[in-house]
Amino acid sequence: MSAYPMKGGHEYHPGDAPLKRSGWVHNAQYSKFIPVIPKRYMRLVFATIVSFGIWIFVHRLSSAQEAITDENDTPEFPQAQMAPNPMFKLPPLYEAYREYEDSVSEKNLRGQNGTQRYIFFANQAYGCGWGNVLQEIVLNTLLAEEADLGYAWGDYTWGKKSDYSDYNGKKIPSRIPLSTMVAGHILGLDPPNSEGTLPPSISSRAFDKICPKNERTVIHKDLVQAYLREQSPPTTLDSDSGDKVLQGWVSYLTQPELKKARCIEVKEDSFVAFDIWLFGSSRMHSVWGKLSQSLVLKLWQFSPLIRGMFEKNRALFSSSPPARGFWQWIWTILGGNEQTQECDSDSDSAPCVLDLHLLNDSQPLPLLVLHLRRGDFHEHCVNLAEWGSSFTAFNSFPQFQVRDRFDPPSIGSISDLEAEDNDGVPTIVESMDERKRVYTQHCFPDVKQIVRRVRDTVHDYVGVAAAREKAENTSIWWAGRAQFATPQQRLSRVYIMTNGDPAWLAGVKAALLDDLPRAGRSGGDWEFDWNWEGVYTSRDLSLGWEEKPVAQALDSYIAHRAELFIGNGFSSLTSNIVMLRMKNPAIDPVQTRFW
């Protein structure tokens, strides 16, 4: 083997150890220079890693101590009761949840000097669906915030005369505590470092304690309207824009006389501040600027009961998480958050691994959620056609009208019947029966219409998802790819929130599973192949005794996180879901659609 001459008469043979030259290793066999990090730099790197590890440890310890402090200072949320007492066959009355609410309120009032001002809406809507009541609660809470008043909340109420009411021949609780469904600012559960000096929300029972009836200032919508007629310019509460209605109430509540009032009650027989006609029209759009920046939405949370129901049924919403990649493993070693954890399993043979993305409200669920109202909603759809109703407030925002615009068709002469909008929906029909048919497609679709709408909506979604996937794949190399990296992974299952008959739902499931893999589109074939991992409905949920009466809130929780949602444009339940989706900047309008 040849030797290489060196200075001083020495020779270097290729089998000898590599030579060091000024911080580089020269391997003569491959004629390459390989970098060698000097020891002083190695020590610096090692010290940096150790310091970073110590910082992570101290930071986590501090966070854990803060969490323990907050936990010790916060009343304990009740444990859900899965089954009733064998001697008690009636629906739950939720006494433990009211005790929890009162404990939260007492904590919020502790240390106050009696100067905090509160408003209680004794006229809150009752005897109607959760969607109708929640939208009113949200706006009433916003009004309280704008008027610098604490909000006193009441139960979700179906009937006021007894503990139980009758609904379609079944006993239901007449009153359900809000804490079973929501948390956050509405319930006075603001974080300690939350902005502002607004009095924290309290329960109506706490309001009764600190505000005896003889110390309350009772107001009525008629008084507010009379006051606003005298202003310049005047405000008409029943017809002006939502923002003007809100500001009208605020101006009334902030008069010098009322600013002295510590306890304000909106009288029980008063008309509501925000009525169904406002919620059912585009007049609500002007409120969004304030609402989107309000504490009620910034600090929005669903209740621990709802989140527990979701976790219990997690198998319906996502498959098992993928194995951790190398960089995710390194990130965890360095102190990053785990993406999975062990969980309780119903199976003795297979370990349960919970994807922590499922428990993170900011992460999307790989679901197409469909809101399909059935039962007596068909009669309501007929009424909507007769009234000429449009999509409700949040369902009619301009960004949604680009793809799903709905204008109530007018009734005209036969010569005008060819008029259609861009989506092929007639703008003029010959008769009321024909108008009812048009409304039914959007309000009460049949199986064929459902399948067709899902097909077209998924097709629109794929274009946006593909662009997003491309953008994410060019992100920082060490961060790893998003969990649901491809359109098929992002949207792998269907969940139907519904009160539909099980037999009818079985037909919908079969049609959806059968359609997409072989569907053709008018004008050409599909641009992609698609298969659903599964199709599930509200009827598939496993729910306990205290969980069943609040299942609609679970549906809302699932839908507001869904990758793709098709809602009922005439439904207040859909409208509330859309509101929560609108506040999430990561959700593109193409991901929120309507029948």
Residue 482 has pLDDT above 70, yes or no: no
114 or 107, which is more confident? 107
Helix (H, G, I), strand (E, B) or coil at 315: helix
Distance (Å) of CA 404 to CA 453, 589, 590, 592 = 11, 10, 10, 10
Is residue 129 a contact partner of residue 118, using CB atoms and an 8 Å limit?
no
Can you spell out the DSSP letters for 369-404?
Answer: EEEE--TTHHHHHHHHHHHT----GGGG-HHHHHHH
On the question of a cis peptide bond just before residue 233, with omega within 30 degrees of 0, the verdict is yes
Number of Cα atoms under 13 Å in the Cβ half of residue 253: 28
Find the mean pLDDT for residues 374-385. Answer: 92
To the nearest 10°, report the CA torsion of 377, 573, 314, 531: 60
Buried b (16+ CB within 10 A) or exposed e, 251-265: ebbeeeebeebebbb
Residue 10 has pLDDT above 70, yes or no: no
The CA distance from 492 to 365, in Å, is 9
The CA distance from 268 to 124, in Å, is 8
Entry field: residues in the chain: 595
**Residue in the block written with tokens 């007629």:** 229
Range name among 40-54, 109-123, 132-146, 264-278 with the lowest pLDDT average:
40-54
At 53 the pLDDT is: 65
Number of Cα atoms under 13 Å in the Cβ half of residue 560: 27
472 or 34, which is more confident? 472
Find all residues with CB under 8 Å of 562, minimum gap 6, and list them: 364, 365, 367, 368, 369, 495, 591
Is residue 364 a contact partner of residue 563, using CB atoms and an 8 Å limit?
yes
11 or 513, which is more confident? 513
Residue 255 has pLDDT above 60, yes or no: yes
* Residue 348 pLDDT grade (very low, low, confident, very high; cuts 50, 70, 90): very low
Strands 410-411 and 428-429 come out as parallel
476 or 214, which is more confident? 214
* Residue 186 pLDDT grade (very low, low, confident, very high; cuts 50, 70, 90): very high
At 473 the pLDDT is: 65
At 12 the pLDDT is: 46
To the nearest 10°, report the CA torsion of 261, 262, 266, 267: -90
Residue 21 has pLDDT above 50, yes or no: no
* Residue 480 pLDDT grade (very low, low, confident, very high; cuts 50, 70, 90): very low
Residue 131 has pLDDT above 60, yes or no: yes
Residue 483 has pLDDT above 70, yes or no: no
Q: Using CA of residue 52, residue 57, residue 61, residue 64, what is the dihedral sign? A: positive
pLDDT digits (tens, 9 = 90+) for 46-73: 777 777 667 665 555 555 454 444 445 7
* Residue 453 pLDDT grade (very low, low, confident, very high; cuts 50, 70, 90): very high
487 or 143, which is more confident? 143
Helix (H, G, I), strand (E, B) or coil at 13: coil
The CA distance from 536 to 310, in Å, is 14
Is residue 275 a contact partner of residue 136, using CB atoms and an 8 Å limit?
no
pLDDT digits (tens, 9 = 90+) for 195-243: 668 999 999 999 999 999 999 999 999 999 999 999 999 999 999 999 9
At 20 the pLDDT is: 45
To the nearest 10°, report the CA torsion of 574, 576, 580, 581: 20
Mean confidence (pLDDT) of the chain: 84
First-to-last C-alpha distance (Å) of the chain? 81
pLDDT digits (tens, 9 = 90+) for 512-570: 998 865 554 544 444 556 789 999 999 999 999 999 999 999 999 999 999 999 999 99
* Residue 353 pLDDT grade (very low, low, confident, very high; cuts 50, 70, 90): low
Find the mean pLDDT for residues 460-487. Answer: 64
Question: Which of 21, 17, 52 lies closest to 34, judged by CA?
Answer: 21
Residue 313 has pLDDT above 50, yes or no: yes
Residue 385 has pLDDT above 50, yes or no: yes
The CA distance from 153 to 167, in Å, is 24
Q: Which two tokens stand for residue 252?
A: 């009334």
Burial of 369 (C-beta count, 10 Å sphere; 0-12/13-18/19+): buried
Helix (H, G, I), strand (E, B) or coil at 254: coil
At 490 the pLDDT is: 83
At 583 the pLDDT is: 96
Could you give phi then psi for residue 219, rounded to 5 degrees?
-120, 165
**Local structure of residue 520 (DSSP, 8 states):** E
* Residue 342 pLDDT grade (very low, low, confident, very high; cuts 50, 70, 90): low
Range name among 154-163, 323-332, 445-454 with the lowest pLDDT average:
323-332
102 or 18, which is more confident? 102
Find the mean pLDDT for residues 17-21. Answer: 46
Residue 301 has pLDDT above 50, yes or no: yes
Strands 534-537 and 24-27 come out as unpaired
At 465 the pLDDT is: 79
* Residue 579 pLDDT grade (very low, low, confident, very high; cuts 50, 70, 90): very high
Find the mean pLDDT for residues 31-50. Answer: 66
At 420 the pLDDT is: 54
At 113 the pLDDT is: 74
At 488 the pLDDT is: 72
Find all residues with CB under 8 Å of 571, minimum gap 6, and list them: 131, 371, 373, 392, 395
145 or 36, which is more confident? 145
Angle between helices 551-561 and 572-582 in degrees, nearest 10: 40
Q: What is the pTM of this model?
A: 0.81
Strands 202-203 and 353-355 come out as unpaired
At 518 the pLDDT is: 54
395 or 463, which is more confident? 395
Burial of 342 (C-beta count, 10 Å sphere; 0-12/13-18/19+): exposed
User: Which amino acid appears at position 221 of this protein?
Assistant: K
53 or 184, which is more confident? 184
- In the chain, CATH 3.40.50 sits at 304-371+446-594
Find all residues with CB under 8 Å of 212, minimum gap 6, and list them: none
Find all residues with CB under 8 Å of 430, minimum gap 6, and list them: 411, 412, 413, 414, 417
pLDDT winner (highest mean) among 289-293, 318-322, 514-518: 289-293
* Residue 25 pLDDT grade (very low, low, confident, very high; cuts 50, 70, 90): very low
The CA distance from 559 to 565, in Å, is 7
CATH class of 304-371+446-594: alpha beta
At 418 the pLDDT is: 53
